[in-house]
Amino acid sequence: MASSLKNPDRTGWAFALPGTVLILTFIVIPFFFAFALSMTNQRLISPNPTEYVGLKNYRDLLGLAVVTLEPERDDSGAVVIDDDGEIVYPRLRTITRSDDYPQYRGMREWFRWQSGEDARIVIASDVVFMKALVNTLLFVLVVAPVQGGLALVLALLINQRLRGINIFRTIYFMPVVVSIVVVSLLWRFIYDGSDGLLNNVLSWITFGAFQPVDWLGNTETALGAIMAMSIWQAVGFHMVIWLSGLQTISPTLYEAAAIEGASKWQTFRYVTWPGLRHTAVLVLIVITMQAFALFAQIDVMTSGGPLDSTQTVVFQAVERGYGKQDISGGSTISVILFVIVLTISLIQRYLTREK
């Protein structure tokens, strides 16, 4: 004991060593690996030597362009209309496979819209990745505010001295301690299209008027269903963070507000919310990062389907890196995700900074 007190430096390093080694091995080194691999054509198992390819992987993922297709015209120069009354356009491959446009080679249609007689088409090098990116952003945009807000409401509700309040705390926190894989499996039954719990309940409370929906098998509802379940699963965790923030607010401030005649809403607005400032920043950033990392639910419940409507960035990274054994492609997606999350976190920090 005495020697450790005399040699605080060495002892300190000794204590920090195991953690440092673990962090280096599993976080820092793989992080730089990902950067390096994303510049190569490395595959998981391949007889060919690894080659440096520069930014090709990034171009293959992020390549985007807008092309314009003019309608087909008959001999008189009039626009050709098909049997359904739609304008007929030449096929996209007249551009993407043409030697006149080498820059569009291999790109596919993502979506299109009509502009006058012409059709504007957004083509992407990797349409699936684009869909995954949009789905992930949508997921974050919905889950971050809804989950954060709901967690705050729950925290306010259970931050009261009532008999049996611990039962509610436990109930709200329970989904957090259950593995997300188990939760996802259970919710697959709940969302089941033919005999799922949700359909049964909805049909029961509407006296049979509700038509069963295949929640996870429908492009319209699949992502929403996963959002709802994800919000429910982790809301308890953020509730606990809010709760710890609530308990740092001095009770005297509430008493002062009560004496000054503040209503419940005014107390929240002038005392509680300003006191939760730092907690709010934390919760927002944590939820955002967790939401961007959406994977297990997708893997268990939909595998990205139906029709890529639940593809996400991390699911794509895993799918590509291990499913297709394209390690460099998976690494590239990881790096892109890292840049996105870092940027958003920095923006959030800037917007919520202390003025």
Partner 1 sequence: MADLRLKGLRKSYGSAEVIRGVDIDIEDGEFVVFVGPSGCGKSTLLRMIAGLEDITSGTLEIGGKRVNDAQPKERGVAMVFQSYAIFPHMSVRENMAFGLTIAGASKAEKEQKVAEAARILQMEHLLDRRPSQLSGGQRQRVAIGRAITRNPSVFLFDEPLSNLDAALRMDMRMEIGKLHSQLDTTMIYVTHDQVEAMTLADKIVVLKDGEVMQIGSPMELYHNPANLFVAGFLGAPSMNFLQVDVLDVQGEEAKVSNPSLEPIVVKTAGRPIEAGHKATLGVRPQHLRVSETGQLHGNVTLAERLGSETVADLRLDDGSKLIAAFAEDKILDVGQRLSLDFDSDAAHLFPVDG
Which of 273, 267, 269 has its CA nearest to residue 252? 267
Q: Residue 116 or 251: which CB sits closer to partner 1?
A: 251
Provide the β-strand partners of residue 125.
Answer: none
Residue of the chain from 100, 259, 264, 353 that contacts partner 1 (CB under 8 A): 259
262 binds partner 1 (CB under 8 A): yes
Where b means 16+ CB within 10 Å and e means fewer, 172-197 reads bbebbeeebeebbeebbebbbeeebe
266 binds partner 1 (CB under 8 A): yes
Residue of the chain from 261, 350, 351, 353 that contacts partner 1 (CB under 8 A): 261
Of the ranges 102-110, 158-166, 264-272, 280-288, which one interacts with partner 1 (CB under 8 A)?
264-272
Residue of the chain from 26, 174, 260, 343 that contacts partner 1 (CB under 8 A): 260
Name the token pair of 119: 């059709």
Give the Cα separation of 157 and 106 in Å (integer). 55
Q: Residue 152 or 226: which CB sits closer to partner 1?
A: 152
Q: Residue 35 or 254: which CB sits closer to partner 1?
A: 254
255 binds partner 1 (CB under 8 A): yes
Q: Residue 165 or 258: which CB sits closer to partner 1?
A: 258
Q: Are 196 and 190 in contact (CB under 8 A)?
A: yes
Q: Are 237 and 263 in contact (CB under 8 A)?
A: no
Give the Cα separation of 26 and 32 in Å (integer). 11
State the nearest-atom distance from the C-beta of 278 to partner 1, in Å: 11
Q: Judge residue 24's burial from the number of C-beta atoms within 10 Å of its C-beta, 0-12 exposed, 13-18 middle, 19 or more buried.
A: exposed
Residue of the chain from 243, 271, 284, 327 that contacts partner 1 (CB under 8 A): 271
What does the angle CA 212 – CA 217 – CA 223 come to, to the nearest 5 degrees? 105
Residue of the chain from 97, 277, 278, 324 that contacts partner 1 (CB under 8 A): 277
Binding site for partner 1 (CB under 8 A): 250, 252-253, 255-263, 266, 270-271, 274-275, 277
